[in-house]
A = this chain, B = another copy of it.
Amino acid sequence: MNRFENMENFIRVVEVGSISGAADRLGVAKSAVSRRLKELEEHLGVELFHRTTRRMNLTDTGRAFYHQCVRILEDTLEAELASAQVHGTLKGGLKIALPSTFGLMHMGPAINEFLQAHPQIEFDLDFNDREVDLMQEGFDLAIRIARLPDSSLIARRLAPIQSIMCASPSYLKKMGTPKTPDELLTHQCLVYSLLHDYEYWHLTDAEGKEFKTKIRPYLKATTGEFIRDAAVADQGIILVPSFIVYKEIERGELIPVLKEYKPLQIDAYAIYPQTRHLSQRVRTFVDFLVKRFEGTPYWDLQIQKLT
């Protein structure tokens, strides 16, 4: 039994006032309308109409049920409309805040790919590492790399972000490869000051226990790319997210060190304000991102084996 069609059927009969008329409007045989109405009445065990072979009058029960049917049908259509992709592409703007390095390196290609499917979307991208107030500044969405999501906002985890400690082969040859975290104090450390403490690096030992080890910051920068390039130029040891250095590691320009001590795992999130009616653009884009970054990130596929 198709509850839905039966309701629609019933509504039409009420509004047109006759079975024949409703059948015309619905484009089906009147026998079908009659039978569906009968089915509905049998299902409810109630008479919806007083029938006098030629005339039909709603019963009180029928009238009450009619109003509820109308409301339910409207709700359903609205729900479908709100969720349905209005065929093909989306339109409108999408203002997004995203961290500069991750944004440039990995969100850029993703956004380009999304634009293939939805060329009508106008992206307004703000590459910035400061924390923006989503509501205040009218952002639809922000990409954040953090240890835990901000609970006051909706957060969808996009990808795990693992950091890697590494240095160039030449540097290691010249200065030696550290065997324990303590030895880092004798090395030149290049600090990515956004994600880590200035003077400490947080690690976990073989048993998964957290601890921090003091380092000697030889150079500090808020851009991961800069200290990566510095490390490639034999300037010292860095601790940066793998998504920044994965190519250099694959090419052997940088070599992981102290692999037994895993840096703290953090994550990339898409976050957006809690609004009652989330726009279809945001929903679709976030769905797209979640799917694209699902599983082990492509930047970790190769270097996974090396760590």
Q: Which residues of A contact B (CB under 8 A)?
A: 2-5, 43-47, 50, 52, 57, 59-61, 64-65, 68-69, 71-72, 75-76, 78-80, 82-87, 156, 278, 280, 282-284, 286-287, 290-291, 294-295
Q: Which residue in B4, B43, B60 is a CB contact (below 8 Å) of A3?
A: B4
Q: Contact partner of A83 among B64, B79, B294, CB < 8 A? A: B64
Cβ–Cβ < 8 Å partners of A3 in chain B: 2, 4, 76
- The chain B residue sitting closest to A295, CB to CB, is B52
27 pairs from A and B in contact (CB 8 Å cutoff) = A2-B2, A2-B3, A2-B4, A2-B5, A3-B76, A43-B84, A44-B80, A45-B86, A46-B83, A50-B291, A52-B294, A57-B290, A59-B283, A59-B291, A60-B283, A60-B286, A60-B287, A61-B283, A64-B82, A64-B83, A65-B83, A68-B75, A68-B79, A68-B82, A69-B79, A72-B72, A72-B76
**A270 CB to closest chain B CB, in angstroms?**
9
Residue of B nearest to A46 (CB): B85
Number of copies: 2
B45 contacts A87, C-beta separation under 8 Å:
yes
Residues of chain B lying within 8 A (CB to CB) of residue A79: 65, 68-69, 72
DSSP majority for the A interface? helix
CA of A282 to CA of B295, assembled, Å: 60
**Nearest chain B CB to A117 CB, angstrom units:** 12
A88 and chain B: residue at smallest CB distance: B45
- Bound CA–CA A79/B40 (angstroms): 13
